[in-house]
A and B are shown apart, each in its own frame.
Chain A
Amino acid sequence: MAPAPPSERPVVRTGRVPGRLGNRVFSGISTGAGILILVILAAVAAFLLIRAIPAFQASREDFADIDFMLGRDLWGFVGPLVFGTVISSTIALLVAVPLSIGIALFISHYAPRKLAQGLGYLIDLLAAIPSVIFGLWGIQWLQPLVSPLFSWLSENLGFIPLFTDYQAPARNIMTAGLVLAIMILPIITATIREVFLQTPRLHEEASLALGATRWEMIRQAVLPFGRSGIISASMLGMGRALGETMAVLMVLSPGYLINFFLLQPGQHQSIAANIASHFPEASGLGVDVLIASGFILFLLTFGVNLVARWIINRRAEFSGAN
């Protein structure tokens, strides 16, 4: 077939796709932004590590001048802090997880459908409240409220070492853990709720069709399906609780011991709160020690979060929902 005369040729400019330059620039910027996120994360670890190295290398004599270390070496100083961090987070988890499962069930399976979304927002609102205000509230409202409860515990169950010798005011690790529990409630609830809502409708209806009550249906269909979701949500909450600063700083009266006297003040301290309380006055090697403890906290939360996300993603791939 003979080529058409030039005037009738369709206007397709081969070799000049429209917007090619724009495409290239735009995808370059987007990819760059994605990579920059990775760079920032790596930089966080790298910069902390650079400043932490002097503290890791220093000998015990070098730490003698740092008054908040009380003459301990690095691990003798960081060990109780790690212990305090873990124990406050554990208390928070023990309180928050059962409560969150209840709330998530209420929103996903009990509340009237029209209200459910609004009620979810209400819980999310807790996540928006600044931590410093949780600290104020913990001192002003929660502390007087739990004080009689703690003294009752101490009087009646005092033979258990956990509860011996409660001393008012309630500036102990238990109160701090309770405040933390309320602070991590929203993230745990939101994650569990999402998983519960994904329960296959057919499983639920099959259970109900066999004559199960609502609770039996939940035990047979919803909870087994959501188990890994509950685990990963708890770990996400743990990650939050480990790194929370202000509530612990304001509520807890600090100490640097490793023990399980949950109701006594002046026994424990968390890494984050310790950094916040000593950082403004620290200088020289003292700063490095605090940054080293911050690096340990970073590794701790990074690991917990990574495992939690891994569980969530694995579940998403293998779940029967899709």
Chain B
Amino acid sequence: MAVIAPPVPVRRTRRLPSWAPWAVLVGSLVLAALIQFLGEGPTISGVFFIGAIIFTIAITVTSRTVEGERLSKDRLATTLVTLAFLLALIPLVSLVWTVLSDGITRFGPSFLSTDMVGVFGNMVEGGAFHAIIGTLYVTGIASIISIPLGIFCAIYLVEYGKGRLAKAITVLVDVMTGIPSIVAGLFAFTLFLILFGPAYKAAIIGGIALAVLMTPVVVRSVEEMLRLVPNELREAAYALGVPKWLTIVKVVLRTAIAGITTGVMIAIARVIGETAPLLITVGIAQNVNWDAFDGRIATLPVYVYRQYAQGGPSADRAWAGALTLIIIVMLLNLVARLVSRYFSPEGAR
């Protein structure tokens, strides 16, 4: 976090007073609103868009006339960098807002507790209970596979790994985080196609696909956390005669447990919204499928996609499903951050 204090040069040029940029900002926004009034009437997005352009030009020109070329370039850069950040917030805010406002019409206890059995045509009933259960199943299977696998792989990389094998695994885990989700889906599909034949459809196929995507994420975050554990702790344990494996279990993992929990939860949040691999492996169902090893199963992301594709009253269900999904993802992220904030040992944050 290198925030550098502005230099204190020998001032030969005049500088703008500190309130000047704010004054220019207000002026630009007012001017933008006026321009919009002359046109078709102001909209919030229009005022900000045009206002930002006017501000960028105005502050640069003002600064150039008062402060000279170099400082005006600095002001222009500051403005553009800040604008880039604000611009990136627009999708986030608008996305959350769109999902909230469109999803709230159908979202509620009845949406969360009914499935789609007997819902046809323009009926507005129906819900996503079956899809929520399916998502829990598929994500659960992925977690059961990839959390232990990922943690042990990270332990290998940090505590045991030496030489070419460890180096190869590090690089390939990184590369694996970039595997397209649809390729993971194709892999799980062909795996089960070759092992069990074409008729077999089950939640476990989707679980395997998600596990391929989730494992490298778990490895990366756990590895990072294990590397934060100070070596003095390990050496202290060895000095007391504790064997290496007990040191790892009782000292290293215990010290890093908050960070590991955070990393695992973020990995779950990452895969819980995966759509494409589930679309081609587990398909969709209308009712709750309690058997993870037999039959198609509905999952929340695929449910959202299918409902939206149908249009009509189904689109409302799609938005409500999207709202459910975003609530789950945000909750997971929030709890993950809180865990790392309140449970990590001092100095390891």
Q: Which residues of A contact B (CB under 8 A)?
A: 17-20, 22-23, 25-27, 29-38, 40-41, 43-44, 47-48, 50-51, 98-99, 101-103, 105-113, 116-117, 119, 121-123, 125-137, 140-141, 145, 182, 185, 189, 197, 199, 201, 204-205, 208-209, 211-218, 236, 239-240, 242-246, 249-250, 272, 275-276, 279-280, 290-291, 294, 297-298, 301-302, 304-306, 309-310, 313
Query: Would you mind naming 24 contact pairs between A and B with Cβ atoms under 8 Å apart?
Result: A27-B244, A30-B160, A34-B152, A37-B173, A44-B183, A44-B187, A47-B191, A51-B190, A102-B83, A103-B84, A109-B4, A110-B78, A122-B89, A129-B95, A130-B301, A133-B326, A215-B77, A216-B73, A218-B77, A243-B178, A246-B301, A302-B175, A302-B178, A305-B174
**Known contacts being A106-B82, A133-B304, A136-B322, is A199 close to B2, with CB within 8 Å?**
yes
Contacts of A101 in B (CB 8 A): 84
Binding site for A on B (CB under 8 A): 1-4, 6-7, 9, 45, 70-71, 73-74, 76-78, 80-85, 87-89, 91-92, 94-95, 98-99, 102, 148-150, 152-153, 155-157, 159-161, 165-166, 168-169, 171-184, 186-187, 190-191, 193-194, 212, 215-216, 219, 241-246, 248-249, 266, 269-270, 272-276, 279-280, 283, 301, 304-305, 308, 318-319, 322, 325-326, 329-330, 333, 337
A36 vs B148: C-alpha distance in the bound complex, in angstroms?
Answer: 12
Q: Are B186 and A275 in contact (CB under 8 A)?
A: yes
Check B157–A34 contact: CB distance below 8 A: yes
Known: A47-B190, A128-B270, A240-B178. 4 other contacts (CB 8 A): A47-B191, A117-B1, A276-B279, A305-B174
Taking CB as reference atom, which chain A residue is nearest B80? A102
Q: List the B side residues contacting A204 at CB < 8 Å.
A: 2, 4
Q: Within 8 Å CB of A275, what residues of B?
A: 182, 186, 280
Kindly report which residue of chain A lies nearest to residue B177, judged by CB atoms.
Answer: A305
Number of A-B contacts (CB under 8 A): 303
Could you say which of B6, B88, B95, B182 contacts A245, with CB atoms under 8 Å apart? B182
Contact between chains at A106 and B85 (CB < 8 Å): yes
Which residue in chain A gives the minimum CB-CB distance to B165?
Answer: A34
- Check A112/B3 contact, CB under 8 A, given A128-B333, A132-B304: yes
Q: Are B322 and A133 in contact (CB under 8 A)?
A: yes
CB < 8 Å neighbour of A214 from B78, B173, B177: B78
Least Cβ distance of B274 to chain A in Å?
7
Q: B186 near A213 (CB under 8 angstroms)?
A: no
Residues of the A chain whose Cβ atoms lie less than 8 Å from the Cβ of B102: 140
Interface pair B182/A243, CB less than 8 Å apart: yes
Residues of B within 8 A of A244 (CB): 180
> Known: A133-B99, A208-B7. Is A242-B180 also a contact (CB below 8 A)?
yes
- Give every chain A residue within 8 A of B160 (Cβ-Cβ): 27, 30-31
Given A123-B88, A197-B1, also A213-B74 (CB < 8 A): yes
Contact B186 A250 (CB under 8 A): no
Given contacts A276-B279, A313-B171, contact A140 B190 (CB under 8 A): no
- Closest Cβ of chain A to B68, distance in Å, is 11
Main DSSP-derived SS at the B contact region: helix
Are A213 and B275 neighbours in the complex by a CB distance under 8 Å?
no
**Cβ-defined contact, A211 with B7, below 8 A:** yes
A29 to B7, CA, bound (A): 56
Contact (A37, B305) CB under 8 Å given A44-B187, A110-B82, A132-B273: no
Asked if residues B2 and A109 are in contact (CB atoms below 8 Å), the reply is: yes
Using Cβ atoms and an 8 Å threshold, which residues of chain A touch B283? 280
Q: Determine which of B45, B280, B301 lies in contact with A280 in the assembled complex, contact meaning CB atoms within 8 Å.
A: B280
For A132, what are the chain B residues with a Cβ–Cβ distance below 8 Å? 273, 275, 301, 304-305, 322, 325
Question: CB distance A305 to B81 under 8 Å?
Answer: no
Beyond A133-B95, A305-B175, whether A121 also contacts B337 by CB under 8 A is yes
> Chain A residues near B87 (CB, 8 Å)?
99
Contact A125 B333 (CB under 8 A): yes
CB-based contact B180/A298 at 8 Å: yes
A91 to B2, CA, bound (A): 32
The 4 closest A-B pairs by CB, nearest first: A243-B180, A130-B273, A19-B243, A102-B84
Given known contacts A22-B246, A141-B95, A276 and B153 CB-to-CB distance under 8 angstroms: no
Interface-central residue, A30, A107, A110, A199, by most chain B CB under 10 Å: A30
In the complex, which residues of chain B have a beta carbon less than 8 angstroms from the beta carbon of A116? 1, 3
Tell me which of A31, A205, A294 contacts B156 (CB under 8 A): A31
Could you tell me the distance between the alpha carbons of A189 and B279 in the complex, rounded to whole angstroms?
Answer: 29
From A26, A29, A99, A145, contact of B88 by CB (8 A)? A99
Q: Is the CB of B165 within 8 A of A294?
A: no
When distances are taken between beta carbons in the complex, the residues of chain A under 8 Å from B77 are: 214-215, 218
